[in-house]
Amino acid sequence: MKRRVVITGTGVVCPVGNDTEQTWENVKNGICGIGPITKYDTTDRKVKLAGEVKDFDPLKYMDAAEARKLDDYSIYAVAAAQQAFDEAGLEGSEESRQRWGVIMSSGIGGIDTIEKEHSRGLEKGFDRVSAYYIPKAISNMAAGNIAIRFGLKGMCSCVVSACASAANGIGDAFRNIRDGYADVMLAGGSEASVTELCIGGFTALKALSKSEDPKRASIPFDKERNGFVMGEGAAVLVLEEYEHARARGAVILGEVVGYAATCDAYHITALDPEANEASRCMELALEDAGIAPEDIDYINAHGTSTKINDECETKAIHKAFGGHAGKLKVSSTKSMTGHLLGASAAVEAVVTVKALQEEIAPPTAGLTLQDEMCDLDYVPGKCVKAPLKYAMSNSFGFGGHNVCLVFKRYE
């Protein structure tokens, strides 16, 4: 028998807020967190903008000695996990924590550490790089550090599926609880990829916007879009078996009811222009949730602000939802946060849960000139109050990864 899986805690560190409430208020109000890159000199660089984390103090979550041993992507992850754990009000014995786990995803991991230690090795010799280089850089250490902090002795893993990483992690955590392997899972994603090499790599791929106007850089579904904007940060959700949460009197924020993943098996970076597997992923997620297409009220789109992604996602929604597609509220909150790569789906999952709670569809903030090929209701400019019971969150990643999550307002 499948068990119900509810959400009892959330935490966020991202370009529009350093906790869930600040993030939601800014997203709801269309506040853009994109601005000039401050982490390195962009004078001779084609890309000038990013969605950087702002006014964040790691010492609220750890001492200076611990912070020095962690890459920023792990610091953001631990901070978001601490927020989520505190909101959930979790307490448990060592024995009970053997059934508590963590899946904290990252698309790239400690890229800043890799860049800095490589430069140090070239200068001083590679035997003199930091002893913390490997544990700071590897992608699984955000999950490991969270498990150590909270004594989570169940499954501890890191899913790496590019920009779909956190969605896979949340979905896998959902299944672990639903199928009886765990009672509590902390799930999400973290990324700190506003670095010279990372921005340079995506620039070479011609994937990034070269706009110097923050309000016209990340503009999903807009006719003038010309690439995505790199973001950074982390988000974590506490997923919990329903009866376990009820027994301890937890406040339930929402419910995860469906999950599916497919692969285009088409191209290393480009989406299948026919969007067959992306649409099938949505259909499978609906089937997993046991609901009809007409039950979905809102979709938090992957919506990267690249020409091919936005057109393909629109086509996939039409294929999966048929005549109901035109009745859906669809928005991309990347218009405010930028694209957080492996962390994006986690931030968007938290936003989707808040949207269901308040029955407000957040906006696609920068959308002013809608592309004719993108013909859905993308909630341009301002949020919309609407009856929301079920919502879907889409994520797609290099390598052909398609992931869909379905959430339900808790009643």
By annotation, the residues acting in catalysis are: 163, 302, 339
Q: Residue 349: CB partners within 8 Å, gap ≥ 6?
A: 166, 167, 170, 188, 235, 237, 300, 393, 405, 407
DSSP states along 191-207: E---SHHHHHHHHHTT-
Distance of CA 60 to the CA centre of its chain: 23
Q: How is residue 367 annotated by DSSP?
A: -
The two tokens of residue 80 are: 């978001």
**Alpha-carbon torsion (65, 70, 76, 82), positive or negative:** negative
Report whether 406 contacts 347 (CB < 8 A): no
β-strand 100-105 against 184-191: which pairing, if any? parallel
At position 307, the amino acid (one-letter code) is K
Task: Tell me the backbone φ, ψ of residue 206, rounded to 5 degrees.
Answer: 60, 35
Distance of CA 165 to the CA centre of its chain: 8
CB neighbourhood size of 255 (10 A): 22
Contacts made by residues 38-45, CB under 8 angstroms, sequence distance 24+ = 39/194, 39/195, 40/195, 40/196, 45/199, 45/200, 45/203
Beta strands in 179-335 (DSSP E): 184-191, 233-241, 254-263, 296-300, 329-331
CB neighbourhood size of 315 (10 A): 21
